[in-house]
Each structure stands twice: as structure tokens, then as C-alpha cells.
């Protein structure tokens, strides 16, 4: 079946099977920044934003996203045009193996879009899907709080 969605701001039309999940469709189309891990909605690695809200792309039927917009971590920023969240992750040592990071950053992005001044507990709650086995989470939480501060500064300018 044919569906259309906006991926990172670009309109895309694709042919998908009715039981295809968004994760597989995105990776098949070259959006390799979306990482698969448990394929069962348990770990958060594959999280992307649909209409600005984090969802598990390994569970979401691609057909369900027809007509909606999808944001991956690359839609937030890349190596040469890094988003403050990405910079904060690097500077705080919040990425070790990095496999969970694309999912973690999009969850954080959705939070900061809605709540520019989150508490630490709000950060942890808004990213609780995103398992990380390397960092013990602390530096990731600090990175989000740092990025929030940075974004507030930029907004005031």
C-alpha cells in the first residue's frame, strides 16, 4: 500500500506492506539513524517522533503514520549542524556506545519542546523508555538539563 509522510521535513511517498512497522520502513529507506534493538517496545532505542511525540517505531504500523510527520535524530541535527541537545550529550560524556542515543535525544527533544524548564525528575520520566546500559543515565540527564538551559538562553536573545 502507498503511504505518504513527512520525514525530517521532507515529503516522502512509499510503498509499504500492511504489517510493516515504522522502524523497518525507515531503515529500509535509508534512515539508518533509527536503531533497532528489542523489536518489542521494551527498550526505547528505536524511538522517533510522530507529530512531535515519541513513539516506539518498532511497534508503530507504518500505515498508521500515513499523513503524519516523523522526526528522527537527524531531523534534529547532525554532526555538522548539531542541536544543543546533541552538543550537550557530547560535552557531558553522555554517549558511550551511543546505540541508545538517537532514541534518547528525540525523547528529550519532545520534552523540551513542551517544557523548556524541566526538573530532573521530569527529564527522567520523559525519557524513561530509553534504556541505556553504558552510562547509568546520570550524564544523559545532566546533558538534557544543560541543553534546556542553553535553549532558554538562545530563546532570550
- Contacts with another protein: how many residues (CB under 8 A)? 77
Q: Is 117 in the site for another protein (CB under 8 A)?
A: no
Q: Give the dihedral of Cα atoms 49, 81, 115, 141; nearest 10 deg.
A: 90
Q: Is 119 in the site for another protein (CB under 8 A)?
A: no
Report, in Å, the least distance between residue 94 CB and another protein: 8
Q: Is 7 in the site for another protein (CB under 8 A)?
A: no
Q: CB count, 10 Å around CB of 106?
A: 30
Q: Is 12 in the site for another protein (CB under 8 A)?
A: no
Q: CB count, 10 Å around CB of 8?
A: 17
Q: Are 110 and 54 in contact (CB under 8 A)?
A: yes
Q: Is 14 in the site for another protein (CB under 8 A)?
A: no
Closer residue to another protein, CB minimum distance, 52 or 152: 52
Phi and psi (nearest 5°) for 111?
Answer: -60, -50
83-99 core/surface letters (b: 16 or more CB in 10 A; e: else): bbbbebbeebebbeeeb
Q: Pick from 63, 69, 149, 150: which binds another protein (CB under 8 A)? A: 63
Closer residue to another protein, CB minimum distance, 12 or 20: 20
Report, in Å, the least distance between residue 42 CB and another protein: 4
Q: Is 150 in the site for another protein (CB under 8 A)?
A: no
Closer residue to another protein, CB minimum distance, 27 or 69: 27
Q: Pick from 5, 23, 45, 148: which binds another protein (CB under 8 A)? A: 45
Q: Which of 50, 97, 76 is nearest to 151 (CA)?
A: 76
Amino acid at each position: 500500500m502507498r503511504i505518504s509522510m513527512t520525514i525530517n521535513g521532507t515529503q516522502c511517498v512509499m510503498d509499504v506492506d500492511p504489517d510493516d512497522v515504522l522502524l523497518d520502513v525507515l531503515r529500509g529507506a535509508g534512515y539508518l539513524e533509527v536503531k533497532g534493538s528489542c523489536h518489542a517496545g521494551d527498550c526505547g532505542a528505536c524511538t522517533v517522533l510522530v507529530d512531535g511525540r515519541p513513539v516506539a517505531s518498532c511497534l508503530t504500523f507504518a500505515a498508521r503514520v500515513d499523513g503524519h510527520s516523523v522526526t528522527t535524530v537527524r531531523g534534529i541535527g547532525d554532526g555538522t549542524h548539531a542541536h544543543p541537545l546533541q552538543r550537550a550529550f557530547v560535552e557531558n560524556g553522555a554517549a558511550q556506545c551511543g546505540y541508545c542515543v538517537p532514541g534518547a535525544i528525540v525523547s528529550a527533544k519532545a520534552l523540551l519542546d513542551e517544557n523548556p524548564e524541566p526538573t530532573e525528575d521530569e527529564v527522567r520520566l520523559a525519557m524513561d523508555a530509553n534504556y541505556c546500559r553504558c552510562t547509568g543515565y546520570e550524564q544523559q540527564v545532566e546533558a538534557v538539563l544543560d541543553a534546556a538551559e542553553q535553549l532558554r538562553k538562545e530563546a532570550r536573545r
